[in-house]
């Protein structure tokens, strides 16, 4: 096994860790903005397999990252389930909301989702043909809780208030939505793997707003169910779990869910995470995205500190969250050069 990312996921300690970046195909790159314009808009880009593969490849060509992440969005699954979805420029996603049983009953499920999602699988197939031999292809989906927060509110929310409210006031309906999402996420990720994804990542971007028993029930359990079923269908495909801002709940998450790697946001210190989380296996992270805007000595020092803190165990270098549109592409190069300076 020669691919650096797969070696890290297999538990190998490497002097220079593999590196990729969340949202590496994105608006900070002029070539991405040009291809998105060619596609028309963001969603048309997601469903245009040739162009989605093109933007996935752009950061690989420019920087030589060790992994490519499929270009798509976590909100394509709700759309495949029958929700309306559109993006408002400068604001973000909008969806039809789920407030009542009738809203939920309108959703479809089962094999129906693949009709909408087939172009995504085609993107994966193109990428497996076109990626360099050393680059690992990562597929992904949103975790049920995070996807549910968007489906319930119909948009992104600062505190996931509407989802917390539905969970408290109509637990049966909330649980039914979580179950539908859990099952369809397994099918969606399986189909990506069958098309050629070598690793899959589960993004639970809003896991941090679930506390105590809620975290166990709505972040940990669904991840465990999804990973257990994926492992039974595809035993050799590693899974990265990202329960963002889980804090202390990062500890033991990999063991409890069966994840091969836990991705860390930048609210946890690398020294703490090396002692408490990396002892169970591979970790990914966790440079603050703002360094991609500000650059300079702080970027170099922080990058070195993260590489050093995680150097005794398996590690994948990444940001703690997605790169932002105001980032300077030269700072990305500086981060990569710093990670690889020990080569």
Stretch of 68-76, 113-121, 163-171, 218-226 contacting ligand CP3, by CB under 6 A:
68-76
**DSSP-derived secondary structure letter, 90:** T
62 is catalytic: no
Nearer to ligand CP3, 247 or 322 (CB): 322
Q: Exposure of 182 by Cβ count < 10 A (0-12 exposed, 13-18 middle, 19+ buried)?
A: middle
Query: Angle at Cα 169 formed by Cα 168 and Cα 174, nearest 5°?
Result: 75
129 is catalytic: no
Which of 8, 75, 85, 107 binds ligand CP3 (CB under 6 A)? It is 75
For residue 71, state whether it binds ligand CP3 (rule: CB under 6 A): yes
Instruction: Catalytic residue, from 7, 36, 244, 290: name it.
Output: 36
Q: Which residue has the tokens 């970027």?
A: 299
Going by C-alpha positions, the residue among 140, 125, 234, 222 that lies closest to residue 174 is 222
Instruction: Catalytic residue, from 66, 73, 204, 260: name it.
Output: 73
Query: Do β-strands 282-287 and 261-263 pair in parallel, antiparallel, or remain unpaired?
Result: parallel
Among positions 314-343, residues that touch ligand CP3 (CB under 6 A) are: 322
Going by C-alpha positions, the residue among 254, 253, 271 that lies closest to residue 312 is 271
For residue 124, state whether it binds ligand CP3 (rule: CB under 6 A): no
73 is catalytic: yes
- Beta strands across the sheet bearing 239-243: 67-69, 136-142, 199-204, 239-243, 261-263, 282-287, 315-319
Helix (H, G, I), strand (E, B) or coil at 287: strand
Among positions 200-259, residues that touch ligand CP3 (CB under 6 A) are: 203, 205
Q: Which residue has the tokens 């500190």?
A: 305
For residue 144, state whether it binds ligand CP3 (rule: CB under 6 A): no
Q: How far is the CB of 63 from ligand CP3 (least distance, A)?
A: 12
71 Cβ contact list (under 8 Å, min separation 6): 25, 45, 46, 52, 53, 55, 56, 123
How many chain residues interact with ligand CP3 (CB under 6 A)?
A: 21
C-alpha span between 133 and 171 (Å, rounded): 47
Site string for ligand CP3, 147-176 (x = CB under 6 A): ---------x--------------------
Among positions 8-47, residues that touch ligand CP3 (CB under 6 A) are: 22-27, 36, 42
For residue 69, state whether it binds ligand CP3 (rule: CB under 6 A): yes
Instruction: Catalytic residue, from 32, 47, 63, 150: name it.
Output: 150
For residue 58, state whether it binds ligand CP3 (rule: CB under 6 A): no
Q: How far is the CB of 156 from ligand CP3 (least distance, A)?
A: 5
36 is catalytic: yes
C-alpha span between 254 and 271 (Å, rounded): 18
Helix (H, G, I), strand (E, B) or coil at 21: coil
Nearest residue (beta carbon) to ligand CP3? 205
Query: Where is 87: in which H helix or E strand?
Result: strand 85-88
150 is catalytic: yes
For residue 131, state whether it binds ligand CP3 (rule: CB under 6 A): no
For residue 92, state whether it binds ligand CP3 (rule: CB under 6 A): yes
Q: Please list the active-site residues.
A: 23, 27, 36, 73, 150
* Binding region for ligand CP3 (CB under 6 A): 22-27, 36, 42, 69, 71, 73-75, 92-93, 140, 142, 156, 203, 205, 322
């Amino acid at each position: 096994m020669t691919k650096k990312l797969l070696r890290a996921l297999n538990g190998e300690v490497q002097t220079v860790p593999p590196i990729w970046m969340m949202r590496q195909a994105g608006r900070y790159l002029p070539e991405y903005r040009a291809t998105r314009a060619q596609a028309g808009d963001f969603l048309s880009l997601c469903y245009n397999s040739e162009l989605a593969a093109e933007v996935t490849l752009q950061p690989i060509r420019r920087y030589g990252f060790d992994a490519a992440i499929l270009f798509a969005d976590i909100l394509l699954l709700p759309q495949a389930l029958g929700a309306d979805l559109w993006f408002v420029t400068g604001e973000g996603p909008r969806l039809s909301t789920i407030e009542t049983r009738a809203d939920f009953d309108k959703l479809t499920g089962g094999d129906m989702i693949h009709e909408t999602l087939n172009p995504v699988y085609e993107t994966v197939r193109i990428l497996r043909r076109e990626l360099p031999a050393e680059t690992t292809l990562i597929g992904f989906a949103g975790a049920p809780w995070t996807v549910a927060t968007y489906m319930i509110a119909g948009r992104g929310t600062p505190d996931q208030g509407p989802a917390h409210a539905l969970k408290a006031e109509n637990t049966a309906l909330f649980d039914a939505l979580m179950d539908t999402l859990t099952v369809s996420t397994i099918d969606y990720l399986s189909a990506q793997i069958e098309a050629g994804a070598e690793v899959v990542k589960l993004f639970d971007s809003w896991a941090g707003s679930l506390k105590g028993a809620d975290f166990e029930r709505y972040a940990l359990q669904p991840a465990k169910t999804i990973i257990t079923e994926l492992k039974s269908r595809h035993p050799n495909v590693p899974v990265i779990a990202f329960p963002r801002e889980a804090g202390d709940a990062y500890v033991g998450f990999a063991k409890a869910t069966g994840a091969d790697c836990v991705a860390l946001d930048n609210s946890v210190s690398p020294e703490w995470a090396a002692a408490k989380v990396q002892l169970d296996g591979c970790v990914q992270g966790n440079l603050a995205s703002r360094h991609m805007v500000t650059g300079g000595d702080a970027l170099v020092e922080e990058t070195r500190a993260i590489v050093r803190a995680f150097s005794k165990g398996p590690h994948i270098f990444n940001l703690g969250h997605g790169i932002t549109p105001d980032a300077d592409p030269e700072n990305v190069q500086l981060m990569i050069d710093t990670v690889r300076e020990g080569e």
